[in-house]
A and B are shown apart, each in its own frame.
Chain A
C-alpha cells in the first residue's frame, strides 16, 4: 500500500504484525512521517522502544534499514563518506610500477583515484544514493550523543537530501529515505533540527499495552504472570530511579521468570531475579528501602484478571 493511502489503523496493525505495539499517538506520528516524507524525531528514556520502532517500520515496509549509531566526535567521514586511502595507495603504487602513471599523466591518474570505486559510502550517503523502489529506513540513533556541529550537518542533509562530494559531484535522493532520529535526551537537540522533524515524546507504555507487549514477545508466559510483571515494573518506575526499567527489562524479566517456571511473583523470586530489571546498585537499594513486599502487593493486585 502506498504511504499516501495509509491510515493510523493500518500503521498500528502493520507494526503489530511485526511484533511492535503502538498507541494512536505514535501511530499518527509514523503515519505523518511516511506520508509527508518528514523525518521523525523520537525522544524518550532509554528502553521505551525508539530504536525498535525504526527497525519494525523497515520490516513492515519491506525496506532496507540503514543505521547510523551516533557517538561523541562522530563526523562526516564516518557518517557520510570517506575515501578508501589504503586502496587508493595500492592503486597508485601499481600505476607507478607499471609505468601507467607516467603514460597517462597526473590528471588522469587523479581522476581514477577519486572515482566512485574508491569512495566509501557511509550511512547517510547510502541512504541518499539508493536505487531501490522502496525508500530505505534511515535510523539516526541516539543523536544526543553527537556534538552540535554534527547536528548542523545533519540539518543540511535532511533539508535537501543531497550530498556533494567535491571530486565527484552531487548525489541526490530520487526518493527520500524514511528518516527516524532518536534521542535519549541526555542533552537537548537543537531547535532548528527539531523544527525540520515531526516530534514524538515516547513514554513508557501503559499497563495494558505493556501486558500485550509481554504476551507478544514472550508467548509462553501466562496472562496472569504477564500482568503481574507489568504491574511490578509499573510500581518500580514510580520510584524515581536512576535508571527506571524500560520495556526491554520487562521482557527480559518475563523471559527469565518463564524459564524458571514461575507462575506467580513472590518476594523471594523477585529478590532472585531483580538483577534483570535494575542495572544500578543505588536502584537496588532504593527498592529494598521501599519494600519488596509492597511491590509484590502491587503486582498481585494488577494480576487479578477482573481488576
Chain B
C-alpha cells in the first residue's frame, strides 16, 4: 500500500509542476507585454511597481521569471492584488477559499450520497417508477446548460417563491450594527460543522468497532442529540441571526450544484451495481440467509462502490467547473467568482494565485480520493 501511495504522490508532484508551468505560460501568452504593461501603468503607485518588479522579477529573463514563479508558489507569495489593493493575493484567496470549500464539499458530498442511494435502489428493483423518474430527471439535470439552470432556480425559489435570497454571501441589512465580521462568523460555523462531523464519525465507527450491540443502538440517538444541541447553542450565542443569514444564502447554490451533478454518480452506481448483483458472493450472501437489505447494502452495494469512488475524481472536476459558474451566477464570493472577476479586471496576480489555488485544491481532492480508495479496497491495501 505504501508503494502505491508513493507512486500516486509522485504522479501528483508531476501534475503540480505541470499546472504551475501552464499558469506561467498562460500569463506570458497574454497579448502585450505583461511586465511593461504594469510598469508603465500611471495609476499604480511607484512603490507597488517596485514591489511587483521584485516579486515577479519582471526585469529579469523569462527563465528566471519562471523559477521565481515556482518559488513564489511554494512560499505562498503571489504579490498584491490590483483589484483589492493593497491586500496581498494570498490574503484575498484565504478569505475566499473556505466559502468555495463549503459550497463544493457539501454539494459533492450530497450529490454523491443521493446518487449512490438512488443508483443502488434502481439497480436492485429494475423497471419501477423510481427508475424512470430518477433516470430521466437525473440525466436532464446532468446535461442541462448550467448557467441557465442556475438562473431558473433563482427565478423560481428566490423571485417567485421568495424562499431564499437572490444571491450573494449575506444581507447587509441583517449585519448592520453588528461588531463581528462575516468571516469570523463563517469560520465559527465551519469549525462547528467540522467538529460535529468528526464527533458523528467517532460515535458511529469507534463504538461499532467495540462490537457492543448496546452501544451500537445508542449511537444514533447520541448523534441526534448533538445535532439538536448545535442550533440551540448558536441561537443563544447572539450571532445566531447572522449565521442563519449566511446559511440562507448557501442553500440555493448548494442545491443547484447538487442537482446538476448527482446523476453522474447515480448512473455509475446503477451500472456497477448491476454487475455486482450477478457476482457469486452476492448469491452466497443470499444463501447464507442474510436479510435482503443486508445482501444489497453490505455486499452488492459495498462492492459497487469501488468503481464509483474511482470515478469520483471526475465528478470532482465537474463540480469545480460547476462551482465557478454557479458562484458567478449566485454572486457567491468564493475562489471561482474571484477568478472570474480577476480575469475581467485584468488583476493578473490574483488570476495566477486563483488558478494555482484551484489546481492545488483539485490535487488535494485527488489525494483524498486515492486514500479513500485504498481504505475501501483491501486488495490494494495489502499489496
Real binding pair: no
